Amino acid sequence: MNRKTDYAGIREHGHRLTPGAWRSELGKGMGTSVEAIRVGCSASAALVRITGRAAAERARDFDVAVRRMASEGIAEVHLDLAGCPLMDSTFCGTLAGMAEERVRGVPWVRFVLHGARARILDGLANLEVLPLLRVAEAGEPFPVEEPLRDLPRGLASKQDMGWFCLRAHESLGRLGEANVERFAELRRMLSEELARNAPDGAAVSTGPHGPTPAAPGPDAG
């Protein structure tokens, strides 16, 4: 059966992820999709305000924006999650991947959570991501004042989105064996789909969880 995977439609049911129905365009029909991501920067810190779901559809845009800001000297990223009802596993893995990176033994970028709902904090804790982050104290001010600017949607192919989703869940797997087991089926489906759609001759490595095609270069997408 040649079933395609809808990367943006992958939804979390408890702790088990299942593929959604295939759509011709990523993110179409997602009634609970992200409404907006807005960003502002000071000299050494940034504020990212997420309104709506923190989900796979915008996780790549978030990753690109944070990496760009960090390369320009931003050391701390504050996330305003007061208007965010849910953070899916791809977004959690995106946070984990960046929070774990080190430069000369020092965290490359630190994340501070403001206004996160109990559901989000519980999910981050369950996936072992929360220890990598800091929860702001009550009344702690944002490092940046209004106005914030909208973060535009980037252009990415379904293949690029699949790679990003796979890497996010690999980041979660590095945090603990429970995550490896939890997302084993999802990683298998993603790896198989990416291998089927990979260009002829693309390298495929075999890891402990099945075949993993070679990821595209940094300029892909």
| Domain count across the chain | 1
Residue 91 near residue 81 (C-beta atoms within 8 A):
no
- The 10s digit of each residue's pLDDT in 93-134 is 999 999 999 887 778 899 999 999 999 999 999 999 999 999
pLDDT at 155: 83
pLDDT at 109: 92
**Low pLDDT (below 70) residues in the chain:** 1-34, 200-221
Question: Which CATH number does the domain housing residue 76 bear?
Answer: 3.30.750.24
Tokens of residue 22, six digits: 């295939």
Residue 186 placed within a domain:
no
pLDDT at 33: 56
Residue 203 placed within a domain:
no
Distance CA 113, CA 98 (A): 15
Residue 6 placed within a domain:
no
pLDDT at 209: 37
Nearest to 109 by CA among 41, 48, 44: 44
Residue 10 placed within a domain:
no
pLDDT at 13: 34
Provide the residue range defining the domain that includes 116: 36-150
Kindly write down the DSSP assignment for every residue of the chain, as one continuous string. -----EEEEEEEETTEEEEE---SSTTTT-TT---EEEEEE-SSEEEEEEES-B-HHHHHHHHHHHHHHHHTT--EEEEE-TT---B-HHHHHHHHHHHH-EETTEES-EEEEES--HHHHHHHHHTT-GGGSEEPPTTPPPSSPSPPEE-PPPP--HHHHHHHHHHHHHHHHTT-HHHHHHTHHHHHHHHHHHHHHSPTT--EEEETTEEEEPPPPTT--
Residue 182 placed within a domain:
no
Residue 27 placed within a domain:
no
Residue 198 placed within a domain:
no
Distance CA 85, CA 120 (A): 8
Residue 210 placed within a domain:
no
**Longest distance between any two alpha carbons in the chain, whole Å:** 55
Residue 126 near residue 49 (C-beta atoms within 8 A):
no
